[in-house]
């Protein structure tokens, strides 16, 4: 093998005519070396090398079939199977020119990999350090000679680790052109995404939704939303995610959206709507400001043009929070207490809201008094409260100042080494500046024992000023429990996932006694009030938060927990668990039967791919209602997952009867195809409330799905067509298509 070492900034190379070996000198501190297995020579100031040429210059390595170097221009010309390795990047082609001084690359028919995508073109030239331009270029994330998708542009400018800029660009799936753009900017950081979502929903008509997310500054990420719905009209939105403050730990999110709705009265529900203007909007702010190490402020505010904006255009948000709150608070924390000053206000006058302007609360956490065995916890607050009804409801608003102070002592201890006993005693004093005078109001007997008497006071009843009032509350009680266990190491069964078995039995009890100086909370304005639910309310303080609904009660809750535990992957798991309990009601204002329903909470995980959960309550001892919720999750094979659910509710005084069946499943047919289904059927009404079907196709770099959704809301049906394209190979290069009317236009 012959070796030629090129010496820069020296005239010694002028005398090299045959193969020679010399120690390399440096150009700007970088030695340059060329080696080849074939002929090497130096003629007329140009050095040449042939066959298996290797060139090493600092952090750059060049390999080719042949090479020429001119000391005057500092350029290396390489031909044939050219590979240029510079730092972590690779350039591949047939012909290239590399300037060893400026590190500029000029090439024809060259391709390169940058981070997780591939660029190729007929002409590649370096613009500056870490940047190059490609003419007639293509870009893809699919490492294949025939990629599933690519972008083809007249000019592509790549700025490593920063951005890619396209001019006159067409997006292809396979060889089929899908979209054309005169200009496209793609950031290479995680804060940039570009989305176009064709969508169809029967209440929208054919629609085109899109947004561009980009970094406005280092700490501000912005999103511009541009939507058009055929039945609704154009819409625009502007969102900002902001980080600020010390170490950028504070954050804020501002969201705006405006639509000129051409058909605001379209209604896919059975609930009638009043007049709604065409100009519809939402504005929201979520903020958390770190003021100091133990003080922070939060803000959660939403202003809507009408009560149906979220339901019509942000359905996912509507299902989670149909009536968003408006709260501002400053919080001071410490290991012993939390001090909160907050303000809640009615920004949307079409929603019922309990205003708190202001509300200051000191919450003292449970801790040992003077390091002794007695523990103390407390909560003291002052609030200006006002219940605000919608303007057009015809109901009268009311308000009052409330000063409330609660203090409780506990004495936890263990007796005989196995019996845990926690007695408690507490007092509460509450002052109301305003109450209502019930006068000669007669409370009629209520047949249903689950409806408290004070709920007979309807919101439409006239309010007679009853003056101020102080209410005192005394509470006491005791909790106790113990555990008994036994182990069977020889219980082994691979079929049902047993590697040893431990049975733990834990009987428990909780007795609660509450005495109030007010015989009926109906004369107290209900701000923090009892909310109807199918579950038992807490019988402890401060867990019972309905301060204004506190009444006399004497309740004894008894139950037992059974746990069967085994080992799985060297970790102890609950193989089976059953919790059973019941309330004995000596005096319960929320359940006037001698005994509550019998509650059972059962879970069973025999295998890693199978689980069963059942939560039930049945009136075994007295009259009541029945509720059974069941959920089954199965994955019997890697390619199949199934979920089954059933909710049964019968004769509850606050909620309608229901027998709701839910089914979901996904089956991966092979490496490229999969099918999914989701259904929801209400047997009580005989309505198939929702159907979703989808077929998935793995396109190597993309996952595509096509399907349909049908929703039935008491006879009013909603139809949608689903088409999604999700890019797998480079998540931060987000050229996504989302044809999902359920989530289109919302957070992805």
Q: DSSP for 637-678?
A: ETTEEEEEEEEEEES-SSS--EEEEEEEEEEE-SSSEEEEEE
342-376 residue pLDDT tens = 999 999 999 999 999 999 999 999 999 988 999 99
Q: Tell me: pLDDT of 626 over 50.
A: yes
pLDDT (average), residues 563-568: 94
Integer Cα distance of 669 and 695 in angstroms: 10
**Which tops the pLDDT comparison, 444 or 552?**
552
**How many helices (H) does the chain have, and how many strands (E)?**
2, 43
Q: With beta carbons less than 8 A apart as the criterion, state whether 24 and 47 touch.
A: no
Virtual CA dihedral for 335, 341, 346, 348, nearest 10 degrees? -60
402-434 residue pLDDT tens = 999 999 999 999 999 999 999 999 999 999 999
Integer Cα distance of 22 and 12 in angstroms: 10
Domain ranges of the chain: 2-151
Q: Tell me: pLDDT of 735 over 50.
A: no
644-670 residue pLDDT tens = 999 999 999 889 999 999 999 999 998
DSSP annotation of 308 reads T
176 contact partners, CB below 8 Å, separation of at least 6: none
pLDDT of residue 730: 43
Token pair in block for residue 679: 């259904």
Q: With beta carbons less than 8 A apart as the criterion, state whether 113 and 147 touch.
A: no
* pLDDT interval class at 588 (50, 70, 90): very high
DSSP annotation of 701 reads S
Token pair in block for residue 125: 């030239």
Token pair in block for residue 708: 């349909």
Q: Tell me: pLDDT of 734 over 50.
A: no
Omega of the bond prior to 19 within 30 degrees of 0, cis? no
Integer Cα distance of 488 and 490 in angstroms: 6
Rounded alpha-carbon distances, angstroms, from residue 709 to 312, 313, 689: 16, 17, 11
Residues 435, 436, 442, 447, CA torsion sign: negative
pLDDT of residue 23: 34
Class of domain 2-151: mainly beta
pLDDT of residue 182: 80
Least confidently predicted of 46-50, 474-478, 540-544: 46-50
Mean pLDDT of the chain: 83
320-333 residue pLDDT tens = 899 999 999 999 99
Kind and range of the H or E run holding 305: none
Taking CA 216 as the corner, what is the angle to CA 214 and CA 218, rounded to the nearest 5 degrees? 105
* pLDDT interval class at 223 (50, 70, 90): confident
Token pair in block for residue 462: 């006239």
Q: Tell me: pLDDT of 436 over 50.
A: yes
pLDDT of residue 170: 84
Least confidently predicted of 296-300, 573-577, 637-641, 703-707: 703-707
Integer Cα distance of 290 and 332 in angstroms: 11
pLDDT of residue 62: 87
**Which tops the pLDDT comparison, 504 or 620?**
504
Least confidently predicted of 19-23, 155-159, 417-421: 19-23
Q: Where are the beta strands (DSSP E) in 129-244?
A: 131-140, 149-159, 163-173, 176-187, 193-201, 205-217, 220-229, 233-244
Integer Cα distance of 260 and 275 in angstroms: 15
Q: With beta carbons less than 8 A apart as the criterion, state whether 63 and 81 touch.
A: yes
pLDDT (average), residues 562-588: 94
244-302 residue pLDDT tens = 998 899 999 999 999 999 999 898 888 888 889 999 999 999 999 999 989 999 999 99
pLDDT (average), residues 113-123: 65
pLDDT (average), residues 397-405: 95
pLDDT of residue 319: 84
Q: Tell me: pLDDT of 303 over 60.
A: yes
Q: Tell me: pLDDT of 190 over 60.
A: no
pLDDT (average), residues 305-315: 92
Find how far residue 529's CA is from the centre of its chain: 30
Q: Tell me: pLDDT of 17 over 50.
A: no
For the chain, the farthest-separated pair of C-alpha atoms sits apart, in whole angstroms, at 122
């Amino acid at each position: 093998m012959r070796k030629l070492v090129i010496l820069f900034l020296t005239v010694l190379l002028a005398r090299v005519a045959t193969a020679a070996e010399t120690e390399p000198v440096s150009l700007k501190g970088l030695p340059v070396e060329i080696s080849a297995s074939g002929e090497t020579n130096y003629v007329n100031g140009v050095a040449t090398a042939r066959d298996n040429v290797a060139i090493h210059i600092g952090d750059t390595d060049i390999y080719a079939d042949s090479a020429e170097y001119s000391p005057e221009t500092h350029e290396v010309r390489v031909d044939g199977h050219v590979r240029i390795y510079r730092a972590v990047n690779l350039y591949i082609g047939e012909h290239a020119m590399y300037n060893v001084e400026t590190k500029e690359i000029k090439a024809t028919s060259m391709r390169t990999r940058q981070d997780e995508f591939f660029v190729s073109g007929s002409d590649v030239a370096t613009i500056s350090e870490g940047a190059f331009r490609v003419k007639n270029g293509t870009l893809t994330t699919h490492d294949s000679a025939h990629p599933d998708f690519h972008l083809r542009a007249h000019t592509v400018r790549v700025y490593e680790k920063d951005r890619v800029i396209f001019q006159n660009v067409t997006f292809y799936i396979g060889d089929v052109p899908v979209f054309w753009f005169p200009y496209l900017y793609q950031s290479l950081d995680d804060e940039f995404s570009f989305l176009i979502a064709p969508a169809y929903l029967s209440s929208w008509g054919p629609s085109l939704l899109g947004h561009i997310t980009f970094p406005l500054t280092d700490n501000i990420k912005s999103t511009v939303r541009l939507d058009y719905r055929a039945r609704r009209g154009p819409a625009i939105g502007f969102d900002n995610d902001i980080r600020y403050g010390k170490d950028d730990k504070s954050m804020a999110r501002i969201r705006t959206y405006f639509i000129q709705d051409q058909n605001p009265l379209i209604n896919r529900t059975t609930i009638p709507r009043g007049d709604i203007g065409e100009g519809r909007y939402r504005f929201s702010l979520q903020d958390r400001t770190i003021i100091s190490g133990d003080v922070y402020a939060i803000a959660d505010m939403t202003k809507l043009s009408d009560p149906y904006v979220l339901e019509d255009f942000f359905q996912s948000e509507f299902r989670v929070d149909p009536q968003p709150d408006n709260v501002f608070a400053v919080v001071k924390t410490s290991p012993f207490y939390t001090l909160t000053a907050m303000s809640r206000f009615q920004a949307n006058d079409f929603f019922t809201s309990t205003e708190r302007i202001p509300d200051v609360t000191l919450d003292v956490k449970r801790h040992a008094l003077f390091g002794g065995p007695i523990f103390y916890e407390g909560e003291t607050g002052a609030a200006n409260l006002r219940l605000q009804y919608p303007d057009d409801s015809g109901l009268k608003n009311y308000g009052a100042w409330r000063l409330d102070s609660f203090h409780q002592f506990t004495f936890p201890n263990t007796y005989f080494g196995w019996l845990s006993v926690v007695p408690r005693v507490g007092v509460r004093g509450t002052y109301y500046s305003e109450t209502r005078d019930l006068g000669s109001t007669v409370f009629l007997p209520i047949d249903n024992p689950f409806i408290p008497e004070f709920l007979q006071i309807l919101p439409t009843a006239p309010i007679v000023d009853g003056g101020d009032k102080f209410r005192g509350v005394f509470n006491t009680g005791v909790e106790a429990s113990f555990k008994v266990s036994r182990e069977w190491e020889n219980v082994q069964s691979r079929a049902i996932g047993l590697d040893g078995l431990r049975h733990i039995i834990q009987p428990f009890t909780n007795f609660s006694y509450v005495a109030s100086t007010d015989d009926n909370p109906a004369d107290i304005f209900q701000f923090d009030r009892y909310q109807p639910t199918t579950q038992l309310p807490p019988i402890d303080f401060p867990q019972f938060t309905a301060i204004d609904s506190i009444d006399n009660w004497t309740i004894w809750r008894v139950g037992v927990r059974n746990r069967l535990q085994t080992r799985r992957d060297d970790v102890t798991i609950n193989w089976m668990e059953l919790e059973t309990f019941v309330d004995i009601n000596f005096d319960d204002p929320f359940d006037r039967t001698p005994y509550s329903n019998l509650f059972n909470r059962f879970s069973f995980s025999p295998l890693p791919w199978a689980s069963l959960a059942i939560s039930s309550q049945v009136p075994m001892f007295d009259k009541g209602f029945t509720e059974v919720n069941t959920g089954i999750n199965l994955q019997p094979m890697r390619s199949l997952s199934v979920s089954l659910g059933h909710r049964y509710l019968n004769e509850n005084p606050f909620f309608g009867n229901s027998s709701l069946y839910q089914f979901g499943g996904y089956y991966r047919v092979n490496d490229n195809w999969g099918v999914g289904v989701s259904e929801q059927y209400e047997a009580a009404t005989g309505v198939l409330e929702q159907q979703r079907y989808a077929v998935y196709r793995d396109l190597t770099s993309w996952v595509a799905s096509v399907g349909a959704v049908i929703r039935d809301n008491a006879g009013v049906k909603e139809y949608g067509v689903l088409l999604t394209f999700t890019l797998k190979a480079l998540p931060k290069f987000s050229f996504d298509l989302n044809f999902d009317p359920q989530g289109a236009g919302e957070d992805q």
